[in-house]
Homo-oligomer: A and B are copies of this chain.
Amino acid sequence: MATDHTRKRGPLAIGGRLRRLVERMDQDAGRVYADLGVVFEQRWWGVMEHLAEQGPASVAELARALGITQPSVSQTRRSLEVAGLIQAQSDPRDARSRRLDLSDQGRALYRQLAPVWAAMDVVAVELNAEVADVMSMLDSLDAALARTSLYERIRRAMDGPQGGKG
């Protein structure tokens, strides 16, 4: 009955497991930063990398580039500003918009942490070879769920092929 017991744990268990995997990844990365005596929040990386590589950007541009919501960017932006890593300037083209850019301190930290991130890349490649191609799996999953959402799939499984909301 091991198979049946396993079948009892579907996406609900997957979700929890993925969360904890991510949590562990963040913790381990956090330990590396702590070893270097650096205060760094994981969520900062996406914003900093984008600003460093692409130049100043608005909250909306960052949200689009990172694939997260504006409020999330806004909160990260605030955290980064408090830490002195970015600065904001009003955009003369649109009074509502703010251009965010790395501060000198932010640039220095970005450079300092580049070797850490390079090492993380090496580890990702290593794990891909050792275990599974996580990035490819994510790409495939993203594509599959973009095609047909999890919601639709569940509703179809519940209601049958012709039932339920269209």
Q: Which residues does A use to contact B, with CB under 8 Å? A: 6-8, 10-22, 24-26, 28-29, 31-32, 35, 42-43, 45-46, 49, 66-68, 115-127, 130-132, 134-138, 140-142, 144-145, 149-151, 153-155, 157-158, 165
Q: How many copies does the complex hold?
A: 2
Shortest C-beta distance, A148 to chain B (Å), equals: 9
Taking a contact as CB atoms under 8 Å apart, the answer to whether A145 and B24 are in contact is yes
Taking a contact as CB atoms under 8 Å apart, the answer to whether A137 and B144 are in contact is no
CA distance A15 to B44 in the complex (A): 12
A-B contact pairs, 28 of them (CB 8 A): A6-B135, A7-B125, A8-B49, A10-B120, A10-B121, A11-B29, A11-B121, A11-B123, A12-B49, A14-B124, A14-B134, A14-B135, A16-B42, A16-B46, A16-B67, A16-B68, A17-B142, A18-B18, A19-B19, A21-B142, A24-B150, A32-B158, A35-B155, A35-B165, A119-B158, A120-B157, A126-B157, A131-B141
